Amino acid sequence: MQKHHTLSRRRLLGVGLAASVAAPLFGCATGAGGPSIGRVVVIGGGFGGATAARYLRMWGNVDVTLVERNDTFISCPISNMVLGGHKSMADITVPYGGLAALGVKRIQGDAVAIDAQGKKVRLADGRELPYDRLVVSPGIDFMFDQVVGLDAAAQQKVLHAWKAGPQTVALRRQLEAMRDGGVYALTVPKAPYRCPPGPYERAAMVASYFKQHKPRSKVLLLDANPEIQSKKALFEKVYAEQYKGIIEYRPNNELKAVDAATNTAKLEFDDVKADVLNVVPPHRGADIARSAGLLNMNARWIGVNWLSMESTAVPGIHALGDAVLSAPAMPKSGHMANQHAKVAAAAIIQLLKGEPVNPAPVVMNTCYSFVTAADVIHVASVHQYDNADKTFKAVPGSGGVSSAPSEMEGRYALSWAQNIWSDMLAS
Amino acid sequence: MTRSLRIATAALLACAGAAHAQDANLGRNLAATCANCHGTNGQARGDTVTALAGMPAERLITTFNAYKNGALPATIMHQIAKGYTDDQLKAIAAFFAAQPAKK
């Protein structure tokens, strides 16, 4: 299989060479071939970074190196279905091979430092990667120190599973091992956090598992926010109709501390003891963004120029995804990170060519949430750049949520996953 | 129109095209916002959603506007359609019409 890919790639490169010789005949030709217009290093191979790498190659002849610590992509969207027992890890895992076939150089490793003056990235193994422009799509890291008692040892037991991967598997095992009649408690941090509807979908997915396999068990949703943060009326209806007596929702319950030994969540006014305690701590832009001085918004998020996604703190660095301080009504979602990446890719190619960037970009979002193994609800929005306020704004009258959960949207949700994974990974 | 004027006009249009290279990317950039559901360059994976690549521009515009004004029922497209202007829709439709249809 691998050998076959190598051969195809060689053939493709041959075609690319021929195309570059012919390029002057077609003034508008874009894509690979000929000398590259610049070197771009992309840190992070998630929804933002992988999409940026792919579109920089597809839209311009850019020399792209993608630095990602994992050897395969594992999707957060659909991962709650794994917790519910309705999908497997294999279903949400996609290889990076498609990007390599497009000429993206992938390095599996950790970016540990950015030298913005010298324009290079240092990896944990000491390697240095020079760049003309840098894309940082680092995702989030957790502020564990905001939850007393959630030290390194406690984190082995009290999981977040808010980055899909080993923790998804481990949390599923905890749920499987839990006795019937037990309590699963999930704490939600104050907004903004990654994936606004995610906690409410997770509660429904775990409840769907309990309903079928452990009907005397309960899901306790402890929300630091005053209300459900996305698709509120739809989730409330599902909880009341599908999961009556299983899901209990408690707003204004901010987690202060945990006692991992007894699986106790210490809230402002009371303590809750659970059989499985799942804590999503508050988060911020990931460590590499912090060490590079990019977290210039409340020391948590990256401020960007929305026309180019370039950092407002450090020139030459473009930031994408959940680590970015969102524009009004813009969710921290994989879908939105993919859209950020396309704005950035288009702008970076223009900047490398010394040409003006698109003055009127548009991004849009669609988030599907499973509420049963088959039924899904959505939220959608379209955001146009506003030149006066220099930010993206949701278009009045556009967007919205489902009228009701449906199996048809369940099919659309899985189709969305297949298409966005393919769009970002060229799979 | 004389032959020389015709040539001059054609040359002028060609120059205008070159000068507005950024505009040439407008349809591409806008159409890329559709790819998450409808596939890269409109080449959708699977059979659940419509592959937009190669669709005649007029048909895409008509369908999109039917979603926009509610004539065509939808789960989500009626909400998304209202976020794009008529000019943006035209640019998107022209881009997809020029893409090779899904194999």
Closest CB from A28, A358, A382 relative to B83: A382
Give the model confidence (pLDDT) of B20-66 as tens digits: 445 779 999 999 999 999 999 999 999 999 999 999 999 999 999 99
Mean pLDDT of A199-205: 98
Question: Does the beta-carbon distance from A380 to B38 stay under 8 Å?
Answer: no
- How far is Cα A163 from Cα A2, in angstroms, rounded to an integer? 29
DSSP code for B34:
G
Question: What's the mean pLDDT when you consider all of chain A?
Answer: 93
Mean pLDDT of A18-39: 53
Residues counted in chain A: 427
Q: Ramachandran region of residue A336, left (φ > 0), alpha (ψ -120 to 50) or beta?
A: alpha
Quickly state the pLDDT bin for A193 (edges 50, 70, 90): very high
A384: nearest CA partner in chain B:
B83
Quickly state the pLDDT bin for A33 (edges 50, 70, 90): low
- A368-399 per-residue burial string, b: 16 or more CB within 10 A, e: under 16: bbbbbbbbbbbbbbbbbbeeeeebbbbbeebb
ipTM for this prediction: 0.91
Q: Which of A393, A415, A420 to mutate to test the interface with B (most CBs of B within 10 A)?
A: A415
Question: Does the beta-carbon distance from B32 to A342 stay under 8 Å?
Answer: yes
Tokens at B99, concatenated? 């893409």
Helices (H), A113-197: 152-155, 166-177
Question: Does the beta-carbon distance from A412 to B79 stay under 8 Å?
Answer: no
**Considering Cα of A128, then A129, then A132, then A134, what sign does the dihedral take?**
negative
Superfamily covering domain B24-97: Cytochrome c-like domain (1.10.760.10)
Closest CB from A58, A384, A419 relative to B39: A419
- How far is Cα A300 from Cα A294, in angstroms, rounded to an integer? 9
Question: Does the beta-carbon distance from B38 to A382 stay under 8 Å?
Answer: no
- A269-283 per-residue burial string, b: 16 or more CB within 10 A, e: under 16: eeebebbbbbbbbbb
Question: Does the beta-carbon distance from A402 to B75 stay under 8 Å?
Answer: yes
Give the model confidence (pLDDT) of A319-345 as tens digits: 999 999 999 999 999 999 999 999 999
> In angstroms, how far is CA A294 from the centroid of its own chain?
18
Name the burial class of residue A333, with classes exposed (0-12), middle (13-18) and buried (19+) by CB atoms within 10 angstroms of its CB.
buried
- How far is Cα A102 from Cα A42, in angstroms, rounded to an integer? 15
Nearest Cα residue to A419 out of B43, B20, B90: B43
Instruction: Report chain B residues whose CB lies below 8 A from the CB of A382.
Output: 80, 82-84
For residue A251, what pLDDT is reported? 98
Interfacial residues of B (vs A; Cβ cutoff 8 Å): 18, 21-22, 24-26, 28-30, 32-33, 35-40, 44-46, 48-49, 75-76, 79-84, 88
Global pTM? 0.90
Nearest Cα residue to A278 out of A208, A207, A203, A194: A203
DSSP code for B102:
P
Instruction: Report chain A residues whose CB lies below 8 A from the CB of B30.
Output: 362
Regarding beta strands A105-108 and A271-273, do their DSSP bridges make them parallel or antiparallel, or are they unpaired? unpaired
Instruction: Report chain A residues whose CB lies below 8 A from the CB of B29.
Output: 342-343, 346, 358, 361-362
